[in-house]
Amino acid sequence: MPSPWTFLIALHAIAAGYALIFGAVNLLRLNKGSAAHKILGRIWAVAMYIVVLTSFGIRTIDGGFNWLHALSVLTFCTLTLGLVAVRRGNIRAHQRFMTGSYFGLVGAFIGVVAVPDRRLPQMAIHDLAGLTLWVGALALTAGLTVAGLSQLRRKADVARVDG
């Protein structure tokens, strides 16, 4: 059984959940470069930085730093390079760095759920109601955020037509 949840581990897991959701939404959006894409991208980037930075405080697997922390360093670099690229107008590099960062996150998530001794698989076995509540809360709040951004877009479209 893994060590108990701490604030740092909970923050890491929540940010990772949001990063998985918002990253997928932004990658699947057809309207790249829109205001909604930029806002979702900023939310995703903040969530990713929280995931990366909190990972350095989590050393419960073997008590020290390991290869997972090396992946966090890599992700910090690719995420930052993606943000620098878009600021410089290099959209192609931005797309590559951000897509790579997102799929790295997906790979890390698969790694987490594939190891039976990790927290999420243990929750699925011993606290399915808690896991369901956690996933539901993430999905609901992320969905409300996306819906809110859609409303902003509709209002902007109406204002453009009326103005």
Give the pLDDT confidence score for residue 49 in this predicted structure. 97
Confidence at residue 6, expressed as pLDDT on a 0 to 100 scale: 84
What token pair was written down for 45? 């980037």
- Tens-of-pLDDT digits for all 163 residues of the chain? 566 778 898 899 999 999 999 999 999 988 888 888 999 999 999 999 999 999 988 876 666 777 778 889 999 999 999 999 999 999 999 999 999 999 999 998 888 888 888 778 888 888 888 888 888 988 899 889 888 887 776 666 666 666 5
Q: Give pLDDT, residue 76.
A: 96
Cβ burial 45-78 (10 Å sphere, 16+ → b, else e): bebbbbbbebbeebeeeeeeeeeeeebbeebbeb
Query: Which residue ranges make up each domain of the chain?
Result: 7-162
Residues ≥6 apart with Cβ < 8 Å to 81: 93, 97
Long-range contacts of range 83-86, CB-CB < 8 Å, 24 or more positions apart? 83/45
Global confidence as pTM? 0.83
